Amino acid sequence: MSTDTVEPAATTEMVKMNGMQAINAALMEAMEADPKVLVLGEDVADREGGGVIGVTRGLSTKFGDLRVRSTPIAEQAIIGAAIGAAMGGYKPVAEIMLMNFTTVAMDMIVNHAAKLRFMSGGQSQVPLVIRTLTGAGNQTAGQHADFYEAWFCHTAGIKVVIPWTPADFKGLYLSAIQDPDPVMIIESGKTLFVPMDTPVNQGPIPLGKAQVVQEGSDVTIVSYGQMMFTVMQAVAELAEAGISAEVINLRTISPWDKEAVLASAEKTGRLLIVHEAGKNFGPGAEIAATVQEALFGKLKAPVGRLGAPYCAVPFAKKLEDAYLVQPPAVVAEAKKLCAQG
């Protein structure tokens, strides 16, 4: 499905795995290679089942209970401990079980993790990875499925990554863990569960670089996380309708790959951004605002954005389906753009 034009695959030998397995493999590899890598979070150790859905399974057994620590339910304490350990020379991977629970750790993330290097004039560094999971689709309703990546993109000093494929997970985790600065990795709903072909020896994928998944000529579609599945469905339909879409898997939302997006939008003359986060003041706004400025007069249509409506995530399946951007909406919006210019 994917023609990766950004970096060559590390190997041609492929294996089917899902996102959870890829994260687990990345953590295993990183912890083995570097004794400074740590893992902490609620239920992450094997005594507690290696994570509520098993992503960290096997780590504490292999690397010991001091490097892989289950925590009380106390997200401020989790991120605080990770910050201190990071400043103390370690590379902690801290889990906040769901993204909505970052709300109780915002001080630690925003006022401390993201700022300590700057406020200390470079004396401190906080090489911390925050893992968190979110996404609608399982009727978990208003407090368990929000995408707040826009908040963290707006916060100077922390990088924001949202992988799509298992290869993304493996490669982006490997890079994030070795990055000298805080990185938040948002695991997006079904990206954890869908098995996909993955290079056996997938190595690091650079942060800040987007992946051109498919080249096209009529419209550029930028997306990330589980919305990529939606986009790929839509793109197949668009192809049948004779519309050639270039698809970009953004991977890192902040700092985002302006070069890749601008190059593609300039080429196709049309850009559509699709994300699960709310459209209003959402991450797509920054991309649209940047592109309209950089390519003023060169676009055939205004930059389009699709995102969640302005409301909490609803419970009823019917409403949840209406809440999420679905393939027909992507198709319709892309066609609308292609009808212009």
Ligand X SMILES: Cc1ncc(C[n+]2csc(CCOP(=O)(O)OP(=O)(O)O)c2C)c(N)n1
**Under rule CB under 8 A, which residues in 257-316 are in contact with another protein?**
309-312, 314-316
* Cα four-point dihedral sign 19, 112, 80, 38: positive
One of 101, 151, 169, 256 touching ligand X (CB under 6 A): 101
Residue 206, C-beta contacts closer than 8 angstroms, at least 6 positions apart: 7, 175
User: Is residue 119 near another protein by the rule CB under 8 A?
Assistant: yes
Q: Are 192 and 52 in contact (CB under 8 A)?
A: no
One of 39, 97, 176, 324 touching ligand X (CB under 6 A): 97
CA distance 100 to 143: 6
User: Is residue 119 near ligand X by the rule CB under 6 A?
Assistant: no
DSSP-based three-state secondary structure for 256: coil
User: Is residue 114 near its own copies by the rule CB under 8 A?
Assistant: yes
Is 144 one of the catalytic residues? yes
User: Is residue 148 near ligand X by the rule CB under 6 A?
Assistant: no
CA distance 119 to 102: 22
The encoded tokens of residue 224 equal 């990330």
Residue 53: contacted member of another protein, ligand X, its own copies, none (CB under 5 to 8 Å, by partner type):
none
Residue 150: contacted member of ligand X, its own copies, another protein, none (CB under 5 to 8 Å, by partner type):
its own copies
Nearest CA-CA partner of 78 in 127, 25, 34, 39: 39
Residue 138: contacted member of ligand X, another protein, its own copies, none (CB under 5 to 8 Å, by partner type):
another protein
Residue 322, C-beta contacts closer than 8 angstroms, at least 6 positions apart: 314
Q: Are 10 and 199 in contact (CB under 8 A)?
A: yes
Nearer to its own copies, 6 or 294 (CB): 294
Task: List residues near its own copies by CB under 8 A.
Answer: 76, 100-104, 106-107, 109-111, 114-115, 118-119, 141-143, 148, 150-151, 153-154, 156-157, 254, 277-278, 280-286, 288-289, 292-294, 296, 301-305, 309-312, 314, 340
Residues serving a catalytic function are: 144
